[in-house]
Amino acid sequence: MRLLPALLFSVFFSAVSLYAEAPIEAAKPDLAHLTDSWPTYNGDYSGRRFSPLKKINTATVKQLSLAWSFRVETNTAGGRRISATPLEVDGVLYFTVPSHVWAVDARTGHKLWQFDWASKGGESIGNRGAAVLGNTVYFETEDCNLVAIDRETGKEKWHVSIGNPDQFYFGSVAPVIVKNHVMVGVSGDDFDIPGYIEAHDPETGALQWRWYTHPNPGDPEAKTWPNDEAMLHGGGMTWVAGTYDPELNLYYFGTGNAQPVINGRARPGANLYTSTICALNPDTGKLVWYFQPNPHDTHDWDAVQTPVLIDGIVDGHKRKLLAQASRNGWYFLLDRTNGKNLLSTPFAKQNWTLGVDAKGSPIPNPAKMAQLNGALVAPNQAGAANWYPPSFSPETGLFYVPAYDAYSVYYIYDNNKKPEGWAGNDRGGWSRASLRAIDYKTGKVRWNHQWPSPGGRSGILTTAGNLLFTGDTTSNLVAFNATNGEILWHAGLTGIVSNGPITYELDGLQYVVAAAGDTLYAFALR
């Protein structure tokens, strides 16, 4: 904690008292109203990252000032960059970096407890956050364990393995609570290993089911691979938390790129279910439908970007929709009851397709796959979008995404008949960074704010105050008019905004919280 204004000093002590008296065993996230809480990775299950709060609005946003900041301190491995979206439950923020979890007073930034995990390996590129159910906090470790922590004391309750770090699986995904299931994904694409998603019992950690991101041998979709060996080692990691429709009881998530990475010559075909949007029954782990945004991925583009759930009207009819701005530069709108494609259209520069097929999936152009002498392709490997959370405002009807227009040259450097792991890569090229607002029905860009230079990306928050909060490509947290893209306010931080901002209201005061590097910053009206 670096700054604690006197005005909040008394609030701090009352907050600690309230926390101590709260019936913590009965506490459960309220997913219906994002006012005094932000209880799961995307706020609610929809993935919209839209808050109904509006005390901070287009008229008052210029009065925002720093309420507090909190810098993480660690003495063990794991890194310090906060890419996690904090959860706010009962006046407490819970957030992570690899191997570490914090509980911080949401009013003051005062640390309540810190949990340190002694990792035995894995990869520490980032950790997207935690999940909370009742009196338990859940998070994944980089050496692939799911850990349950007592919410009041910060002490471990139990942990279970969710993958083998010796095979280069690692944990970075924010778990999601769906009924009595703790949904977890896995990361890693250095070895030719299959991706999967799991559900665990929230009380004991026992595995309820695991679903691999490939067809079973003999399934019709298995014909999208040359043979079972390639299919069973074909990748498809589940890097990003999914979304959920309680009425349909369907859990939606995207899968990662096919392996070997970049060089797809030894795996001809669409390579299902890699780079695919999937809908699973969370009680059984059975696949209900799928749509593939990126068949035969040879650019490491994945399809893990958040599948955002929108209830809208298309062609005069109410529809349950799913929208994704994919890393490959295409925007997709689906009927989320059955996965039927309603719209496929580019939202950023792309030159890698020959059009779309009858199901709405782009058709890869063989000339734009990686070559020994290189192929100039848009987008670059970092993608037109990436894991940074988008947002959808039901009040503007706009889907907001941190968008890159970029070209690079893709090379193959493992030209064996049976390449393994990373068999190519991309290098160099031109790029341009923007914040883009897209009409969710048509995919047309309504407004675009081009940043002065390329650089880092940040997640997005929208509110009923007609505001959009995100980071620029240098070190500012910026507030836009969500309707027309006008910049209304900004604050300089110590680094690029490294997560998705959140907002919540406590004691009549609305806060906006974002991370930059190793520090959380909270802003409130003064």
Residue 428's pLDDT is what? 85
pLDDT of residue 526: 84
Over 80: is that where the pLDDT of 179 sits? yes
Given pLDDT bands bounded at 50, 70 and 90, which one contains residue 25?
very low
How many whole angstroms separate alpha carbon 175 and alpha carbon 139?
6
DSSP calls for 400-455 = EEEEEEE-EEEEE---SSS--SB-EEEE---EEEEEEEEETTT--EEEEEE-SS--
Q: Is the pLDDT of residue 14 over 80?
A: no
pLDDT confidence of residue 10? 34
pLDDT over 50 at 27, yes or no: no
Q: What is the mean pLDDT of residues 105-134?
A: 94
Q: 23 pLDDT exceeds 50?
A: no
H-helix or E-strand spanning residue 18: helix 6-21
Q: Averaged over 421-432, what is the pLDDT?
A: 93
- Is the pLDDT at 38 greater than 50? The verdict is yes
* Cβ–Cβ under 8 Å, residues 479 and 64: yes
Q: Mean pLDDT over residues 417-443, rounded?
A: 94
User: Which pLDDT band holds residue 92 (cuts at 50, 70, 90)?
Assistant: very high
- Summary mean pLDDT of the chain: 92
214-239 per-position pLDDT tens digit: 999 999 999 999 999 999 999 999 99
Residue 22's pLDDT band (cuts 50, 70, 90): very low
Cis peptide before 379 (omega within 30 of 0): yes
Q: What is the 3-state secondary structure (H, E, C) of 476-513?
A: EEEEEECCCCCEEEEEECCCCECCCCEEEEECCEEEEE
Mean pLDDT score, 413-433: 92
Which pLDDT does position 34 carry in this prediction? 82
The pLDDT value given to residue 455: 85
Question: Residue 344: which residues within 8 A CB-CB, separation 6 or more?
Answer: 330, 331, 332, 356, 360, 361, 362
pLDDT of residue 32: 55
**pLDDT value of residue 517:** 95
Q: What is the bridge-based pairing of β-strands 461-463 and 145-150?
A: unpaired
Q: Could you report the per-residue pLDDT of 136-176, keeping only the tens digit for each?
A: 999 999 999 999 999 999 999 999 999 999 999 999 999 99
DSSP code at position 15: H
Of 423 and 191, the one with more pLDDT:
423
Would you give the DSSP letter of residue 284? T
Closest residue by Cα to residue 22 from 89, 90, 88, 87: 90
In this prediction, residue 17 carries a pLDDT of 36
More confidently predicted of 359 and 79: 359
Instruction: Report the pLDDT value the prediction gives residue 95, as an integer from 0 to 100.
Output: 98
**Mean pLDDT value across residues 475-484:** 98
The residues assigned a catalytic role are: 300
Q: What is the pLDDT of residue 274?
A: 98
**What confidence category does residue 19 fall into, taking pLDDT thresholds of 50, 70 and 90?**
very low
Amino acid 429: pLDDT = 87
Q: Is the pLDDT of residue 28 over 90?
A: no
| In contact, 457 and 470? CB cutoff 8 Å | no
pTM of structure: 0.93
What was the pLDDT predicted at 515? 98
Q: Residue 190 has what pLDDT?
A: 81
Average of per-residue pLDDT across 263-278: 97
The pLDDT, as a whole number, for residue 5 is 35
Q: What is the mean pLDDT of residues 237-253?
A: 97
Q: What are the backbone angles phi and psi of residue 399, rounded to the nearest 5°?
A: -105, 125
